[in-house]
Structure 1
Amino acid sequence: MSISFQTGDRLPPLEHTGTPFQLFRYSAVTWNPHRIHFDESYARAEGHDGVVLHSHLRAALALRCVTEGLGHGWHVAKVAYRLRRPVYAPADLTYTARVTAAENDSLTLELIEQHPSGEVGFEGTAWVNKTTGATT
């Protein structure tokens, strides 16, 4: 079964606004008690410009761009990323994914988190495979 994506193809961007309330909730569901993610006064005392978006939340948003963009029938096999700068809530972010390799039923995608200023705050790579026997 051949794939319908080619090198250079871009998935639809995912726009997201990270809010302090979302960070509080994400901290709760991930059992992350670090106060920089939900206590603004504490985060500022620690040298931050506000409450800090979780690195794992940012990775999940980038992967959401991939899973929503590819649709059913694909699964993420591996992901690697690095943060280039912290992000403070509230923050308007755009996640993009671009196909950098397409072979058989596998894709490699470049992941980017872009800020309204044009700065890149997060970059990574996702490797995805077509699910065997998948229906779309």
Structure 2
Amino acid sequence: MTTAPSHSAAVGQHIEPVVLQTDPVLLLRFGAATHNSHRIHYDHQYAGLEGLDAPVVMAQLHGTLFYRAAAVFAGGPRGVVSVGWRNRAPAYVGCELVVTGVVREIADGLVTLDLEERCGDGAPCAVGEAVVIGNAEPVC
């Protein structure tokens, strides 16, 4: 069932943050589910050979968190029209990821969100946007 946001959206409105504490087991399971077995996500020594300080979170996990933030705002996953993001810096396994956002535009029944993801220490990891249905009627 799709439901509209439980509130009226307004330009400049902040969305509810989405938080995820990453850990090696979470990354291993996410990698298995997405068929991503690249060693930079679990092998500390190999990550170092690639110029990284430690194993890193998969790019797709950042997108998943952006999708989750949009779905929470939209009142459910069916309210999400599109999600896009660009990774800006590595997020190391073990960090807390926080996605925040703000309503950029409301037009033709759609709400565009500007999204940003930061590590728990405040370092920016990814930026993006999502479009959600602003006044969705329940769908059975």
The two structures have a TM-score, normalised by structure 1, of 0.87
Task: State how far apart, in whole Å, the 1-side matches of 2:77 and 2:41 are.
Answer: 34
Give the one of 16, 20, 23 matched to 2:20.
16
Within the alignment, does 1:84 sit opposite 2:120 as a pair?
A: no
Give the one of 42, 47, 51 matched to 1:43.
47
Task: State how far apart, in whole Å, the 2-side matches of 1:62 and 1:14 are.
Answer: 8
Q: 2:93 is aligned with what amino acid?
A: A
Runs of 4 or more above 6 Å deviation: none
Q: Is the 8 A contact 2:79 2:132 kept in 1?
A: yes
Q: Where in structure 2 are there 5+ consecutive unaligned residues?
A: none
Count residues with an aligned counterpart. Answer: 134
Q: Which residue of 2 aligns with 1:107?
A: 111
Q: Which secondary structure state, in structure 2, belongs to the residue aligned with residue 43 of structure 1?
A: helix
Within the alignment, does 1:68 sit opposite 2:72 as a pair?
A: yes
RMSD: 2.1
Q: Where in structure 1 are there 5+ consecutive unaligned residues?
A: none
Q: Is the 8 A contact 1:11 1:70 kept in 2?
A: no
The two structures have a TM-score, normalised by structure 2, of 0.84
Q: Which secondary structure state, in structure 1, belongs to the residue aligned with residue 65 of structure 2?
A: helix
